[in-house]
């Protein structure tokens, strides 16, 4: 594609740039993600990405938001396939979370990088990043309302469950835990049983 044809992407150029960035990250990690490399991968001029992203930080935030959207979508699909009980859905969600990390290691590292810890300048990222946790909080709220959550609060339970899946997923992509998905399911179930939810 010639650089001048970037304008023919119209509304799709942004999506094409994010897709190019995702491919670069999968191949070379976050270090491979530069505006010039993304432009080259998308087949547009070096300046074309700046029509949609003011700088690399904005591009990184958009890529991370895409990752959180995908994580949320994967999790919702897992919840839909699980039994209707909130505790069983939480276990399914834990397994789906770790599976996402295992299948998208470089993207997950970017999503959780210190570079994106402050999301004040990236409201779309903040919204996308909150969705997986919000769905967990809703299910824990259901358990609490039904009197099935003892010795903890929904907030603390959510943080502990997130620490479990984040830790297992990270250890897995660092090649320490080959069976992290099984452990995620068993660990989440054990926590929930300890709180009286299972």
What domains lie within the chain, and their CATH numbers?
A: 1-53 (1.10.10), 61-194 (1.10.357.10)
Q: Is the pLDDT of residue 6 over 50?
A: no
- Cβ neighbours of residue 32 under 8 Å, at least 6 residues apart? 24, 25
**Cα–Cα nearest to 56, from 17, 114, 11:** 17
Q: Find the mean pLDDT for residues 113-121.
A: 86
Q: Find the mean pLDDT for residues 126-135.
A: 95
Residues comprising the chain, all counted = 198
Task: Report residue 7 as tokens.
Answer: 């304008």
Question: Residues of 162-187 as b/e, b for ≥16 C-beta within 10 angstroms?
Answer: eebbebbbbbbbeeebeebbebbbeb
User: What single DSSP character describes residue 43?
Assistant: T
The reported pTM is 0.89
Of the pLDDT bands very low, low, confident and very high (cuts 50, 70, 90), residue 114 is confident
Of the pLDDT bands very low, low, confident and very high (cuts 50, 70, 90), residue 84 is confident
Q: Find the mean pLDDT for residues 113-122.
A: 87
């Amino acid at each position: 594609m010639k650089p001048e044809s970037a304008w023919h992407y119209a509304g799709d150029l942004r999506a094409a740039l994010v897709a190019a960035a995702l491919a670069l990250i999968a191949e070379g990690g976050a270090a491979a993600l530069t505006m010039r490399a993304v432009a080259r991968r998308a087949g547009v001029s070096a300046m074309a990405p700046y029509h949609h992203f003011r700088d690399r930080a904005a591009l990184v935030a958009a890529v991370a938001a895409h990752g959180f959207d995908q994580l949320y979508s994967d999790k919702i699909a897992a919840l839909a396939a699980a039994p209707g009980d909130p505790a069983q859905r939480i276990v399914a969600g834990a397994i789906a979370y770790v599976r996402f990390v295992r299948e998208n290691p470089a993207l997950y590292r970017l999503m959780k990088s210190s570079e994106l810890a402050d999301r004040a300048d990236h409201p779309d990222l903040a919204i996308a990043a909150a969705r997986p946790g919000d769905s967990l909080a809703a299910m824990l709220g259901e358990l609490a309302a039904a009197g099935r959550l003892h010795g903890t609060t929904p907030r603390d339970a959510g943080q502990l469950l997130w620490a479990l899946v984040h830790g297992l997923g990270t250890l897995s992509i660092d090649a320490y835990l080959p069976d992290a998905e099984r452990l995620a399911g068993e660990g989440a179930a054990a926590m929930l049983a300890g709180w009286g939810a299972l």
